[in-house]
Structure 1
Amino acid sequence: MRLIHRLEGIPCLIVCPNVVRYHWEDEIKRFWKGEPPNIVQYQGSANERREISQPDVLIVNYELFRLDFEHYFSKFEYKMTLFDEAHRLKNRKAKVTKCAYKLKTKYIHLITGTPITNQFDDIWSYLRLLFPEQFGSYWKFINRYGNLANNGFGTEIIGVRQDRLPQLTKTIQQFSIRRRKKDVLPDLPDKTYQTIYVDLTPKQRKAYEEMKKFMVASLGKEEIEVPNIVSQLMRLRQITLTPKLAGFESDESSKLPALLELLQERKLAGKKTVVMSEFKQWIDILENKLNTHNISTVRITGAEDHFEQRRSQQTFQNGKADVALCTIRAAGLGIDLTASDMIIFTDIAWNDTDNKQAEDRIHRATQKGNAQIVRLFAKDTLDHVILNRTILKAITAGQILSEDIQHLEQLLSA
């Protein structure tokens, strides 16, 4: 807020995830010195949105910014623009990023805790936004700083040139301010990690091995269809929860009784718990199962509107629910769940950025105890493979397919 004051940054545009739109409005009103500016939320029907005149501060989510750019946002000029969770602009080919490139604004500020989520070239898009004349060419930037290789399909970035790394770091530092959580919140409790392994049930193991064999056979074909491989990887992950999610008849689950035991113990101890998964259908199953065992729940899955989500959060924070059932991405931003000191992941995302943001729902300034991160994994499955791969950065299906079949078989059987 002081930044907007100091630069007299009105009219100001704030582009942010939908879940934090009202948080931005609340914070502006809270910290603004003197009479607060006229703040408008960009929402409503298409006709209603077209009638919005330019206010002092306009707050919009990324989806509507992209959708309405040509007939609304491109027609105005802003003194200041803030992009919150700016890593959403890392893809130079995405329409939302191209809209940001074309926006007419005097000042741009990019706010993100995860500027690089995959490869070092993520950073180019931010530099292009801030200094288009200096960083106008993507390939000039890549050829200068990147290690490149031909993978048989084209040029692939395999890392950053070590001899140019100090120069790249210096360039980034010139245009950025980094604030680490431990620096601004020195009293914040630590995170502790625990992995609990369970054995798949016989029917789960049978379904898992069938799907694995089918996937390896698909990779042996001359033509590999990437969407099919991605779908099969997802089904392998779902089977570790219950084969039912992957289209099998069996609804057995080794993770469910283990999770239920943990949650019952914590309820007896008077403790609240957050449970995370990538799959909404699994959250549906957990909700029904926990409620039959007298464990009260709220849910945050992305299917709820902003007000339903806020009610769920408040219910949990006020101690009126034992468990918050959340999908990793839906609950990864703008939500405080510090009524609990434990998150249990029944599965994790391929992208470790998503996992870390989900963890931080309980790792905040209002947390009194250590933040306990528990992973509930099935032995001899993709669970531990994904964990190892997230340590090496975001791994996509395309990267897996660039490896030979033998190596993939080793990953699946590890």
Structure 2
Amino acid sequence: MGLGKTVQTIVFLYSLYKEGHSKGPYLVSAPLSTIINWEREFEMWAPDFYVVTYTGDKESRSVIRENDFSLPLLLQKEAQIKFHVLLTSYELITIDQAVLGSIEWACLVVDEAHRLKNNQSKFFRVLNSYKIDYKLLLTGTPLQNNLEELFHLLNFLTPDRFNNLEGFLEEFADISKEDQIKKLHDLLGPHMLRRLKADVFKNMPAKTELIVRVELSQMQKKYYKFILTRNFEALNSKGGGNQVSLLNIMMDLKKCCNHPYLFPVAAVEAPVLPNGSYDGNSLVKSSGKLMLLQKMLKKLRDGGHRVLIFSQMTKMLDLLEDFLEYEGYKYERIDGGITGGLRQEAIDRFNAPGAQQFCFLLSTRAGGLGINLATADTVIIYDSDWNPHNDIQAFSRAHRIGQNKKVMIYRFVTRASVEERITQVAKRKMMLTHLVVRPGLGSKSGSMTKQELDDILKFGTEELFKDDVEGE
């Protein structure tokens, strides 16, 4: 991530064309939010390419097809494709399958290709039916949870060779053994070109990640205990609650670790200013994380740093907006509701020379893909994602080519809470990636078992309730 996959791919396609190996057409499928960036890079690195961006509503796409798809028939027997590259989103690959699937593509490029990790998804099945000579998958995270996902990517690339999932999983069941790891690396070798930042950019500034343990505020402790006691039966029945109810309890506990105002009952009682935003002082004092963030941002501002703040919850980003307004900091924001042009404008404003914006608020999933924010040198992960690879995608927005300062990553984890236990589970997933994708344990399973959920939910509860007993 941040190694220039986009540029390398464009130059690769351009050289295929220029050197006469292939006339195209080439199909590039990417997340909608990154398409503007792909357009820019094509203009810069492949100026002679006729690139058609195929997005928009039904009518817009009809106009594009009419004007940009094929040359007039005249003397030729078949309609010739007019463009060299068609740039489109995942969704339109499925929606306009009838049109796009009828074209014979010289090469397919899928950006953020971990989207193909599930062979039951519509995107996988539809794209598999397209007529494609060569396939190129781009991803910084080829292995997110387990070996099954890696197999599906390989199956998409070369279905003739990788067609037996059970056999593959059986063969590499004990991936902690050295000979198994070597065997898997040899198998992956011909299909995977892996680049590390150290290989590509020798002078890449260092990055340091620190886990910052945060205490719950009094208000948070009150709500945390309330969630646990309200769900006492689900947590303590012999069979435990069902998986769905346990996940709901976990989400409530994660919200509580972020800020009590995420619960409507607390938000209603919270002091509000005449303009509708929350009273800053009460907002900060209600959350251990915000109290820490307030102190950290003052020091970071004084030190001339610029900060990216990631949260999984858009409602938490709303609270962080109120907080930044209260503190008087200028900021930008991107979440799933901000798309296309507006998103790129926010990035351009933040990256502009002499920009006054000190912070950039981003949702982990929406702000973690294909965005370059190397003008920031500090990343704060306000709450960790279930999947550690999404957090890595997030902080790679700053730690990438173009960065000339050391990058500091601060991960907020509430002490003796579900967050602390989730962090430990995430570390196990990272070990699997480390061993399989580049030299160097892990289990086959990706999703959490009921036992793991139980374990996470009960982590730290003894200490929390001990405070009550001692206080009586």
Same fold by TM-score, threshold 0.5 exceeded? yes
Contact 2:418-2:456 at 8 Å conserved across structures:
no
The correspondence for 1:378, drawn from 406, 414, 420, is 414
TM-score when scaled to structure 2?
0.78
| Aligned-residue RMSD, C-alpha | 2.5
Question: Secondary structure in 2 aligned to 1:134?
Answer: coil
How is 1:242-261 mapped onto 2 (pairs within 5 angstroms)?
242-249=259-266, 252-261=286-295
**Residue correspondence of structure 1 range 107-126 to structure 2 within 5 A:** 107-126=134-153
**In structure 2, C-alpha distance between the alignment counterparts of 1:376 and 1:406, rounded to whole Å:** 21
Q: Pairwise mapping of residues 363-374 of structure 1 onto structure 2 (< 5 A)? A: 363-374=399-410
Query: Where do 5+ consecutive residues of structure 2 fail to align?
Result: 1-9, 70-80, 271-285, 431-442, 464-472
Distance 1:215 1:101 in 2: 45
> Which amino acid letter does the alignment assign opposite residue 401 of structure 1?
K
Question: Counterparts of 1:400 and 1:58 in 2: how far apart (Å)?
Answer: 42
2:448 matches 1:399: yes
Name the residue aligned to 1:151.
none
- Do structure 1's residue 229 and structure 2's residue 249 form an aligned pair? no
- Equivalent residue number for residue 470 of structure 2: none
Q: Which of residues 205, 224, 230 in structure 2 aligns to 1:189?
A: 205
One-letter code aligned to 1:242? H
Match of 1:240 in 2: 257
Amino acid at match of 1:331: G
Alpha-carbon distance in 2 for matches of 1:401, 1:118: 17
- 1:377–1:160 CA distance, 2 compared to 1 (3 A): closer
- Selected match of 1:217 from 233, 243, 246: 233
Q: Distance in 1 between matches of 2:88 and 2:199?
A: 30
2:196 aligned to 154, 157, 180, which one? 180
In structure 2, give the amino acid aligned to 1:249: A
Name the CA distance, whole Å, in 1 between partners of 2:462 and 2:99. Answer: 53
Q: For residue 64 of structure 1, report the CA deviation from its aligned partner.
A: 2.2
Question: Is 2:379–2:408's contact at 8 Å kept on the other side of the alignment?
Answer: yes
Task: Tell me how far 1:234 sits from its aligned partner.
Answer: 1.4
Unaligned runs of 5+ in 1: 148-158
TM-score by length of 1: 0.89
**1:383 counterpart letter in structure 2:** E
Which secondary structure state, in structure 1, belongs to the residue aligned with residue 144 of structure 2?
coil
Give the residue type in structure 2 aligned to 1:65.
I
Structure 2: which amino acid aligns with 1:253? S
Mapped to 2, the partners of 1:372 and 1:31 lie a distance apart of 32
Q: Given residue 283 of structure 1, which amino acid in structure 2 is its aligned partner?
A: L
Aligned pair in 2 of structure 1 residues 374, 410: CA closer, same or farther (>3 Å)? closer
Q: Distance in 1 between matches of 2:403 and 2:319?
A: 29
Tell me whether 1:99 sits opposite 2:113 in the alignment.
no
* Equivalenced residues, count: 400
Q: 1:311 aligns with which of 321, 345, 351?
A: 345
Matched with 2:458 is 409
1:339 aligns with 2:339: no
Query: Do the aligned residues in 2 keep the contact of 1:78 with 1:104 (CA within 8 Å)?
Result: yes
Structure number with the higher helix fraction is 2
Partner of 1:322: 358
Pair 1:10 & 2:46 matched: no
Is the 1:226–1:398 contact (alpha carbons within 8 Å) kept by the matching residues of 2?
no
Whether 1:25 aligns to 2:61 is: no
Q: Any idea what the Cα deviations from partners look like across 1:105-153, whole Å, max 9, x if unmatched?
A: 0010111111111111222112212211222232233333335xxxxxx
Select the residue among 95, 106, 126 that pairs with 1:67: 95
Distance in 2 of aligned mates of 1:407 and 1:280:
24
Give 1:346's aligned amino acid: Y
CA offsets, 1:260-284, max 9 Å, x none? 2211222233332111111110111
* Equivalent position SS for 2:304: coil
